[in-house]
């Protein structure tokens, strides 16, 4: 039954001849047309008109037929002169226009759904990490994450700021711990560290910037960890241009544990060591350590002093102390404007000596050496010593920065 219905939809089957009587043999009705009483002589070849024929009524200007009132019919001779077309393969084929229309409709609907998936490939560098979530590479020991340089992360020279670079380093460090499955409820703490109220704090950071990325560039950041002494951990970073593979930044840091309740340094417990040691990479630091001693500045040895620096609420992390990157901004607050305009920061070494909280008030001190401040554009390399301290004189961060002349840049307008 189903097969017959399906076949009839494409190959119409004519009705049996027994269901229709020829004209003049019994007065049967075809549809609603009554042929009774129409007896035409054979081979007359003429049109017959009923004596009681009436003009068909009109509705809205159109003729409307009534049942049983068909007045003009063709005779047998006329009908027989045009026999029906013989049944052939061609005239039994389905209506291809209807089939083609159905196929076209299905195709267009499928194409619309396909385009809504937004599968279209973007730049090849973004396909490596399309959502910016990062991934583990190199036998599970190196974490890699891509970052696109945004318009709000660049300075007046259209290059990324040192704070932007440092934020990328910090972000990959935390995401490395998270992706490895070692992130407890604390900020970068493993489950065993969380149980023992331990957190990581950085004690030393060394950064070398070979080239700053610009707006729209995509950078690839690799990071990994190694052992540093008995109770420390070293974390290294390598930043490259995602398109060219060119090395942009290298950085190395040393971290130790601190009890977040007592704010005292702690040894690494064996339970914690068992969590982190499988992820240690046996390799040399990505940078040769700068072993030069950092100078302690005071009011007499400093060339520039900026006082009254206070942290904002947004400067605090979840451990309720000032974010490490914020210290860099404070250090540069006392750097002379001429250096910031004419020079670019190419290396930095920091020693973190004390944390500060939201109620702290700080001073930033800077001493400049090796240049003529009146001719910074042609001064070549410049070295600065820095100190960030609390109002009572307690040291927070010591630092040293090295600068080189900037290349000439074009002045760009701002968006109205």
Return the C-alpha torsion angle 386, 389, 395, 397, nearest 10. -50
DSSP structure string for 72-101: EE--HHHHHTSPPPP--TTTTS--HHHHHH
Whether 319 is catalytic: yes
Cα 198 from Cα 140, distance rounded (Å)? 25
Among 362, 332, 333, 352, smallest CA distance to 398 is for 352
Tokens of 338: 């001429």
- The answer to whether residue 243 is catalytic is no
Chain centroid offset of residue 348 CA: 32
Instruction: State the residue for tokens 């990157």.
Output: 325
Out of 28, 34, 197, 319, the active site residue is 319
Catalytic choice (146, 176, 242, 321): 321
Separation of alpha carbons 415 and 413, rounded Å: 7
d(CA 389, CA 96): 87
Q: Give catalytic status of residue 371 as yes or no.
A: no
Which alpha helices (DSSP H) does 146-226 contain, by range? 162-179, 191-195
Q: With the CA atoms of 351, 353, 354 and 358 taken in that order, what torsion angle do they form, in degrees rounded to the nearest 10?
A: -20
242, 356, 371, 384: the catalytic one is 356
Enzyme catalytic residues: 319, 321, 356
């Amino acid at each position: 039954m189903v097969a017959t219905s399906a076949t009839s939809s494409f190959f119409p089957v004519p009705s049996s001849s027994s269901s229709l009587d020829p004209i003049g043999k019994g007065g049967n009705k075809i549809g609603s047309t009554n042929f009774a009483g129409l007896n035409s002589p054979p081979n007359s070849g003429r049109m017959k008109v009923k004596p009681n024929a009436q003009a068909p009524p009109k509705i809205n200007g159109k003729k409307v037929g009534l049942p049983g009132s068909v007045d003009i019919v063709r005779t047998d001779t006329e009908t027989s002169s045009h026999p029906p077309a013989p049944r052939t393969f061609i005239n039994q084929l389905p209506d291809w226009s209807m089939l083609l229309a159905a196929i076209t409709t299905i195709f267009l609907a499928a194409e619309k759904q396909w385009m809504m998936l937004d599968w279209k490939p973007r730049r090849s560098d973004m396909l490596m990490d399309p959502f910016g979530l990062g991934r583990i590479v190199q036998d599970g020991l190196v974490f890699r994450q891509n970052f696109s340089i945004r318009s709000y992360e660049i300075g007046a020279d259209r290059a990324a700021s040192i704070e932007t670079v440092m934020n990328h380093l910090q972000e990959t460090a935390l995401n490395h711990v998270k992706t490895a499955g070692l992130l407890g409820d604390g900020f970068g703490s493993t489950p065993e560290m969380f149980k023992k109220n331990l957190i990581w704090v950085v004690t030393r950071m060394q950064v070398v910037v070979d080239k700053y990325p610009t707006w729209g560039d995509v950078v690839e950041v690799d990071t990994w960890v190694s052992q540093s002494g008995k109770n420390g951990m070293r974390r290294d970073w390598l930043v490259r241009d995602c398109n060219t593979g060119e090395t942009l930044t290298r950085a190395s840091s040393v971290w130790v544990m601190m009890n977040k309740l007592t704010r005292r340094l702690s040894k690494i417990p064996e339970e914690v060591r068992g969590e982190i040691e499988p992820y240690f990479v046996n390799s040399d630091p990505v940078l040769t350590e700068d072993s030069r001693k950092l100078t302690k500045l005071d009011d007499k040895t400093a060339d520039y002093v900026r006082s009254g620096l206070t942290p904002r609420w947004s400067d605090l992390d979840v451990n309720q102390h000032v974010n490490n990157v914020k210290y860099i901004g404070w250090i540069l607050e006392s750097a002379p404007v001429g250096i910031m305009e004419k020079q670019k920061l190419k290396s930095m070494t920091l020693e973190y000596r004390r944390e500060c909280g939201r109620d702290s008030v700080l001073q930033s001190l800077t001493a400049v050496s090796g240049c003529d401040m009146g001719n910074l554009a042609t001064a070549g390399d410049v070295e600065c010593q820095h100190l960030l301290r609390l109002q009572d004189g307690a040291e927070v961060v010591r630092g040293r920065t090295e600068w080189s002349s900037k290349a000439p840049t074009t002045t760009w307008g701002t968006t109205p």
